[in-house]
Amino acid sequence: MTPFELMEPQTLQEAVGLLDPDDASVRPVAGGTALMLMMKAGVFAPTRLVSLQHIGAQHSEIGVSGAGELRIGAMATLSALERNTKAAEAFPVIARMLPRLSNVRVRNVACVGGALAHGDPHMDLPPVLAALGAKVSIVGPKESRDVAVDELYTGYYETVVGRNELIADVIVPAMQSRKAAYLKITARSADDWPALGVAVALHADGNTLRDVRLVASAATAMVMRLTEAEKILNGASADDATLKRAGDAAVAEAPIIGDIRGSVAYKRELLRVGVGRAVRQALSSRPTH
Ligand SMILES: Cc1cc2nc3c(=O)[nH]c(=O)nc-3n(C[C@H](O)[C@H](O)[C@H](O)COP(=O)(O)OP(=O)(O)OC[C@H]3O[C@@H](n4cnc5c(N)ncnc54)[C@H](O)[C@@H]3O)c2cc1C
C-alpha cells in the first residue's frame, strides 16, 4: 500500500478544512468499511485520509422529536441506528431493513454518513431514506445546505457532495399516517448485496393510494425515483391491474444495469413484479401512530 497521511481532526469544521476541493486522492473516512476495501483492491490510493472518528461524539446522536421527525448524526453507526428503540418504533421500515444489511461486524463499524456518501447503488439505506423523503445536511467550508436523499446521487458512485464537503446529519420527516416497505431481493443469502431494491412510502386513503414515493436501487446505476410508476399509483386503488401497470411503467422508465447478481433481463422481471410486492408490503405494514 502506498503511504498516505492520516489526519484526525476533533471538529467537523476542522475536518472540512483538511479536505481539498481539487484533489480526489484526499478523502474523509468514517467507518472505513468501503474505503479500505477499495484501497486493498488498489482502486483507490489516497494521499491523505481525514478520519471522522474523533468528531463522532458530537455527530452520532439519534433522536426522534415530539412531532416524530428522526435526526441521525452522520457518524452514528448502522448498529446504533438498528438498536435505537425510538427510531425503530417511529420508522419500522428502517428497523426491518438493517438486520439484512450485510452482517453485524460491518454494521458495528459502518456509519450512516458513509452509507449515504459512498454512492454504490447497491446500498440498502439510501433507497429507504429517499422513499421516506429524508434530506441530508451537507457542511462545506463556508456554508451548509440541505439536499434531499433522492437528489443526492448523480451517477454510479457519484454524488452531489463536494470534495471539501461532509454529510453532517440526516433528517427524516415524521411518518404520520404513512406506510412504507423495502423489498430487498438477493440472488444469494438474505443479507447479501441486493440484485434489486425497491422502497416505497405512501398514504392509504381507504382503498386509494396517495403521496406515493417509489424508489429503485441495485438494478439501476443510482438510486432513483420511479416517477412514471408513481403517477399510475397515485389516486388509484392497489388492485392487480394497477400494480401490474405500475410495474410495467417502472421497467419502461428505469435504465436497468446488469451485474454479477443478475442480468439486465432478469432484473427487469424482478422490477416488474417487485413494484407491486413492495406496495402490498407497505399496505400490510402496521401504522406507526
Ligand atoms: C462485506 C461487506 C458487505 C456489505 N454488504 C452491504 C449490503 O448488503 N448492503 C449495504 O447497504 N451495504 C453493504 N455494505 C457496505 C457498507 O454498508 C458500507 O461499506 C458502509 O455503509 C460505508 O460506511 P463507512 O462508514 O464504512 O464508510 P467509509 O468506507 O468510511 O466511506 C465510504 C465513502 O463515503 C465517504 N464518506 C464517509 N463519511 C462521509 C461523510 N460524513 N461525509 C461525506 N463523505 C463521507 C468516504 O470518503 C468514502 O468515499 C457491505 C460492506 C462490506 C464490507
Taking CA atoms, 197 is separated from 78, 233, 275, in Å, by 18, 18, 10
| Domain end point (choices 172, 188, 214) | 172
Q: Is 4 contained in some domain?
A: no
CATH value at residue 79:
3.30.465.10
- Report residues whose beta carbon is within 6 angstroms of any ligand 1 atom: 27-35, 37, 52, 74, 101-102, 106, 110-111, 113-115, 117-118, 123-125, 161, 166-167, 193
Both 152 and 239 in one domain: the answer is: no
Q: What is the pLDDT of residue 288?
A: 66
Beta strands in 106-172 (DSSP E): 135-139, 144-148, 153-155, 158-159, 166-172
Give helix then strand counts, H and E, for the chain.
11, 14
Distance CA 256, CA 24 (A): 28
Q: Say which residue the cell 448498529 belongs to.
A: 79
Pocket test for ligand 1, best of 38, 81, 102 (most atoms within 8 A of CB): 102
Mapping DSSP to helix (H, G, I), strand (E, B) and coil, where does residue 12 land? Answer: helix
pLDDT tens for 177-227 read 999 999 999 999 998 999 999 999 999 998 899 999 999 999 999 999 999
Q: Is 205 contained in some domain?
A: yes
| Number of structural domains the chain divides into | 2
Query: Backbone phi, then psi, for 160, in 5-degree steps?
Result: -85, 0
Consecutive 10-residue averages of pLDDT for the chain (289 residues)? 92 97 97 97 96 92 98 98 98 97 97 98 98 98 97 98 98 97 95 96 95 98 98 98 98 97 97 98 82
Both 204 and 257 in one domain: the answer is: yes
What is the domain range of residue 163? 62-172
Mapping DSSP to helix (H, G, I), strand (E, B) and coil, where does residue 171 land? Answer: strand
